Structure 1
């Protein structure tokens, strides 16, 4: 490493006292394979433990996945969970309409999917409904079990799941979850385009206990990416009859102040942006939850270790820079596992066409030349960042399919790693040279080339880390500056990125991948989450093939996703930076708690305290 890079990294270490993190119980979410934006180092989805040793130098890290306290849970216990963040939560508490990781966490305690998932993120019949798949794999039928109730006592109906699809596909839906598994429902495109008021591929039984969903194309994603989270039509109002509008639902107290679900705890009180008080739902379909009360509260990342030490909170994600200090706290246990998430640098390459509902790539975008994007990836020393800043709990990312999906992640692909000379050679090849002798390159037309970099605030390390990347790009002659000269708060950051703010050229983001390896929800032409706005016919072709009938053949799907990973390494619409472990601090009084995917104790209704 160049001397000045080492010195810069040393300066980062001096201020390394807090980092971005968000608490999660790592419980099942909704069985929908949901993908969502996150802070660069937050943990918001179920983790996995299948990691290729040759790619992860820390594969031997040995953390427990479940607490060691085997005592009986006390009756009517209370637990406090920390949401570790330096920004308020937004508070759109509906699976259909929420956008970010914090709201997803709040929802996870009071609502759930009709279908449970196992350790491989595949749907099972252990949830509130059982499923049956047709011989041609095109129709799935769900039957809701007896005794499944909303928190107001009303039964959960098959038509409530239909309502989720009616909202997601509604012509006026402005959310981000009209993705492949929704669009693939038979008749959904016609409904979405306002050509009909019915979704022909969804049928509800007369007793409102069964629902069948028929897909236009059979896809293996039905086993890991089906949307199975219902919406209480009777509670929030019916948009299909004109009782309410889509805009009224999004701003309604019914999803912001007094939301309901059918999960183990019901929302008793919300202090906007700060805390949520949950009370036990005695009629929960799985049985009476162990805890009488659960509190979720925002705790600043700088204060989380002290809160755990004092016993003010029982459960919290721990910023990995605080790992060494966390090990010294005597009244907590540390659990960790590989996360279903990664951080990345995104390159703005186009705009979202709101009329067509698709991304449009601009061939004249400032970063249209892929050689420049490749050079910027080679210029980043992610291995040093991972080793020096993260105590072995991060490791360099290579492709956009994470190692957790071990059947599809291809560790043999040669992705860029830090190589300053290679970066310089690529920029020279692209015709980006220093014309005026100021140390920074002009573009291939001899014009000034300055990039605005958007990154999120969060802890004391956030800006130094962004500045480290800026310095490394500067070392190869690319002038990069922070957008508006500062970092931006989580919600406003994603608002700007989603709106394709023309001031943004590059940005640092993070994705929670959900449980479905299909990447089309993040990188497809019609995916609202495709924030770079990269499109190509080859990308369309491979993403479609990866969810096709042929993809039921595991070898075929593996080959398709190998080709897709190679394409994205070549095209670099985003440069993945780090894969990660997530680290949980758990009070020694907590029982029946696990972070292992699919485990019984990974579900909040089992959690308890022994004293």
Structure 2
């Protein structure tokens, strides 16, 4: 009865650590018979689990296990047919024709249709929906034009030719397009379901339907998301567990205690102070590759961080080696550019190595930092206004923020205040630009430098640094140049494309709109009886092939 006890105990634990509570209802969940349930700690409540509205890893984990795109990324990081059983590509690489799998159904038994994909993709591009990931569909013919109000939805290059045939027309050949179809923004949704409750339908078990291996059966805010096996999933016979309990224990020490007490099966983060001991003593702990950059955003449209010399002073003053060796302790690499290591250009060269370090040393360059601060008008920090560094509530983020706060004080003689917000609130605060400096992290959506670069276009819904020429063309003239380079990169190939992307990153770093700190690694703990779990270099978890070994 291990899994029954696990569910009951963790429900009580979460009730003590989250405002949602609800342990009485949780106690009724698994009392009839033993169920094969995996308990996965999401850490915090996702802002959204709507495929087109989600823009974060936590929500993406839930979406990736409840919905399914045309293709799905396998454990080797290769897109393979999923809801689409096959596809054809035109000779010019600009037209894809997908055939929807016969027998693909929604959780309520209705067939998945090509029109469900057409609706979802056009929904993501609809400016009224305000999807932060709309730019991932600008590859479609007239996609960007529709988003900008210069074309109609009917002009967009995605059309259901019949119930099982989806035609996609791209503006130019896109070598990673199939990988994009595995991404949650491009997963299907049902128009009739969304219409019933535009805001929050995906969180409502009475309304939501999904086409993946699991379906949401219970949602308790700041507490848990319960998903159970979707019996109508086309590949339901391969799903060997009954469901997943996505719980939300924010405090990492509490989550580790729950894991050690066999109340949680999977952790995706652990307290940094416990990493050395876990590496030595716990065989279920591992450090996994993770294609991402941990960084701070400067609000470039707000004094004094609107001054590039201030931004450079703050960036050069931190000791990145000290942060990864004494604070994070999980084998991270100090960052010297925004695009992380592990991505290549058209010649197979490591993008980061060719792009260079932009003068950023792994150690603090205090003299250079002081020079920039004096150039900005604050010699030795004199007259520098108090700034606030904001981060989302998390032990590790707090530890990093405190270390950097101390470095700025010691190396520049300036005071920076710290404040934190819960994840969902923090995302909104950062998005609207109500901050001086904010913690951020970006995990690649596919294995190409573009997934890091197009984040900073003027039209990107994730350009939280407010670096947008559309608000002040003179002040942010380099952003306009950046847009042009990114657009050119999307319609060129080979050495020309490489040149455009290298120049684009240089503009990011010359303007220092972000302060890269380190390149991610993933700390993972999975119980030994949980087999078949899949996590790729993008941090995408898939639990549809999991089995639980009998004791």
TM-score interval for Structure 1 and Structure 2 normalised by the shorter chain = 0.7 to 0.9
Q: Which residue of 2 aligns with 1:174?
A: 130
Q: Which moved more, 1:491-500 or 1:179-188?
A: 179-188
1:88 and 1:274 in contact (8 A); partners too: yes
Cα distance per residue 1:75-101 (max 9 Å; x no partner)? 98613323252x4444x3211122333
Please point out which of 262, 266, 289 is paired with 1:338.
289
- 1:338 aligned counterpart, secondary structure: strand
- 1:190-213: per-residue Cα shift (whole Å, max 9, x none)? 47527535234222123x101111
C-alpha distance in 2, partners of 1:200/1:317? 38
- Structure 1 counterpart of 2:278: 326
Distance 1:468 1:265, change over 3 A: same
Q: Does 1:424 align with 2:370?
A: yes
**Which whole-Å CA distance do the structure 2 matches of 1:597 and 1:379 have between them?**
31
C-alpha separation between the residues in 1 aligned to 2:199 and 2:281? 42
| Higher mean C-alpha displacement, 97-106 vs 489-498 | 97-106
The unaligned stretches of length 5 or more in structure 1 are 1-74, 238-243, 351-361, 435-439, 443-447
1:566 to 484, 506, 510: 506
Give the alignment partner of residue 329 of structure 2, picking from 364, 380, 391: 391
What corresponds to 1:542 in structure 2? 485
**CA pair 478-500 structure 1, distance change in 2 beyond 3 A:** farther
* Contact in 1 for aligned 2:292/2:340 (Cα 8 Å): yes
Other structure's SS at 2:40 match: strand
- Paired residues of 1:81 and 1:316 also in contact (CA < 8 A): no
Contact 2:453–2:505 (Cα < 8 Å) also in 1: no
Counterpart for residue 604 of structure 1: 543
Which structure is richer in relative contact order (CA contacts within 8 A, separation 6 or more)? 1
Task: Indicate how the Cα distance of structure 1 residues 169 and 162 shifts in structure 2: closer, same or farther if over 3 A, else same.
Answer: same
Say whether the 8 Å CA contact 1:267–1:276 is kept in structure 2.
Answer: yes
Alignment counterpart, residue 229 of structure 1, candidates 181, 187, 198: 187
Higher normalized helix content (fraction of residues): 2
Question: C-alpha distance in 1, partners of 2:53/2:160?
Answer: 23
State yes or no: 1:317 paired with 2:268. yes
- Out of 352, 357, 360, the position equivalent to 1:410 is 352
The corresponding residue for 1:307 is 258
How far residue 214 of structure 1 moved from its aligned partner, in angstroms, is 1.1
Equivalent residues of 2:201, 2:208 under 8 A apart: no
- SS of 1:154's equivalent in the other structure is coil
Output the TM-score relative to the length of structure 2.
0.81
- Measured in 2, the distance between the counterparts of 1:326 and 1:304 equals 14
Task: Judge which range, 513-522 or 267-276, deviates more.
Answer: 513-522
Paired residue total: 492
Q: Which moved more, 1:193-202 or 1:531-540?
A: 193-202
Cα pair distance change 1:116/1:253, threshold 3 Å: closer
Partner Cα separation in structure 1 for residue 276 and residue 547 of structure 2: 27
| Cα separation, partners in 2 of 1:198 and 1:101, compared to 1, 3 Å | same
From 413, 416, 437, give the equivalent of 1:506. Answer: 437
Q: Pairwise CA RMSD of aligned residues? A: 2.9
Quote the offset at 1:233 in angstroms: 2.0
TM-superposition CA deviations, 1:394-423 (whole Å, max 9, x none): 221122212232445322402312211121
Cα 1:307–1:449 shift into 2, 3 Å: closer
- Counterpart of 1:532 (choices 447, 457, 465) is 465
**Distance change >3 Å, CA 256–CA 126, structure 1 → 2:** closer
Secondary structure of the equivalent of 1:259?
A: coil
Q: Tell me, yes or no, if the aligned pair for 2:42 and 2:58 is still in contact at 8 Å.
A: no
Equivalence for 1:523: 456
> Relative to 1, partners in 2 of residues 1:119 and 1:312: Cα closer, same or farther, differing over 3 Å?
closer
User: Aligned pair in 2 of structure 1 residues 259, 88: CA closer, same or farther (>3 Å)?
Assistant: same
Contact kept? 1:76, 1:292, Cα under 8 Å: no
Deviations 1:207-227 (A, max 9, x none): x10111112333334243346
1:217 aligned to 154, 169, 172, which one? 172
- Give the superposition deviation at 1:325: 3.5
CA distance in structure 1 between the aligned counterparts of 2:441 and 2:320, rounded to whole angstroms: 15
After superposition, the Cα gap between the structure-2 partners of 1:593 and 1:269, relative to the gap in structure 1 and judged at 3 Å, is: same
Contact 2:296 2:515 (8 Å CA) reproduced: yes
Residue 272 (1) aligns with residue 221 (2): yes
Deviation of 1:251 (Å)? 3.6
Q: Report SS of the residue matched to 1:455.
A: strand
**Are 2:240 and 1:290 aligned?**
yes
Distance in 2, matches of 1:261 and 1:547, equals: 32
CA contact (8 A) 1:93 1:256 kept: no
Contact 1:119 1:598 in 2 (8 A): no
Q: CA 1:607–1:375 in structure 2 vs 1: closer, same or farther (change >3 Å)?
A: same
Structure 2: runs of 5 or more not aligned: 1-32, 469-478
Choose the corresponding residue for 1:110, options 35, 49, 66.
66
Q: Secondary structure at the match of 1:179?
A: helix
1:305-362 deviations in Å (ceiling 9; x for gaps): 22222211222223251223334666x6223322122211111113xxxxxxxxxxx8
CA displacement at 1:253 relative to structure 2: 6.5
Q: What is the deviation of 1:574?
A: 0.4
Q: Distance in 1 between matches of 2:151 and 2:344?
A: 42
Corresponding residue for 1:455? Answer: 391
Matched, 1:80 2:60: no
Q: How far, CA to CA, are the matches of 1:194 and 1:566 in structure 2?
A: 31
Worse-superposed segment, 222-231 or 335-344: 222-231
The aligned counterpart of 2:422 is 489
Q: Is the 8 A contact 2:289 2:537 kept in 1?
A: no
Residue 162 (structure 1) shift:
0.5
